[in-house]
Structure formats: C-alpha cells, structure tokens
C-alpha cells in the first residue's frame, strides 16, 4: 500500500543512548502524517506498528516476521512493556499495512541503541 512521502514513525521513549536499569521498560511509538489502524483494517494512510529488536529491517516487500525480534502491535497499540536481558540493544519501528506488509515507501523510525544493566 502506498504511503505519503511525509509520513514518519519515531520512538518517543526510550531515547537513543538510554541506560535502562533492570531491563523492564516501556517503549512508546509515535507516528506523524499517518494514522494507526489495527491489522486487518484496510483504510488509506493507516497502518500498525512493528518493533524490530536487535535485527536489521526485514525484506520490505513481504510480511514482517512475527517472533521475539519482530513484535507485532496489530491491535493498534502505540506502547508496549518489554523486558530485555543485560547488554546493548537496538530498537526500530516499522509500520505495516492490514496484512503486515511494509508500506511503499516504508514508514520506519530511526534505529536507536539502548543499554540494559
């Protein structure tokens, strides 16, 4: 599904470089010039968030995998409680359409790095 060129996803929290004590954290995801709709809902200029943890973006022309490194928020959620093991982790959001396929052009956040102690 096509996406407006000015659509933008971003991670509200945590900020890039954050140090998280204990590994439990909320991730808050934002979206600009685009709407959120649950998986299965086909409406122009909408999609739902996927959080990519410690992986590069998946292929952008097929459904986003659903595993511990590719979390789906098909209910339209914009925040999630995570628990990550100690170490350095990367987080990036990728919007998917009603069928979990990235838009064209893809609507994705910057990739951030956090440290869990």
Topology classification of domain 8-116: Immunoglobulin-like (2.60.40)
Which whole-number Å values give the CA distances from 101 to 15, 61, 76, 81, 97, in the listed order? Answer: 26, 7, 15, 24, 5
CA distance 61 to 106: 10
Please report, in tens digits, the pLDDT of each residue of the chain (117 residues total): 677 788 999 999 999 999 999 999 999 999 999 999 999 999 989 999 999 999 999 999 999 999 999 999 999 999 999 999 999 999 999 999 999 999 989 999 999 999 999
pTM over 0.85: yes
Kind of pairing, strands 19-20 and 112-116?
parallel
* Domain segments of the chain as ranges: 8-116
């Amino acid at each position: 599904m096509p996406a407006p060129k000015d659509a933008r996803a971003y991670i509200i929290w945590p900020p890039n470089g954050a140090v998280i004590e204990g590994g439990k954290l909320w991730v808050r995801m934002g979206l600009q010039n685009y709407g959120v709709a649950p998986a299965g809902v086909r409406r122009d200029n909408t999609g739902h968030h996927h959080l990519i943890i410690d992986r590069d973006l998946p292929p952008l022309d097929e459904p986003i995998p659903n595993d511990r490194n590719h979390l789906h928020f098909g209910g339209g959620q914009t925040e999630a409680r995570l628990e990550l093991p100690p170490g350095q982790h990367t987080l990036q959001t990728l919007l998917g359409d009603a069928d979990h396929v990235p838009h064209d052009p893809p609507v994705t956040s910057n990739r951030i790095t956090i440290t869990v102690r």
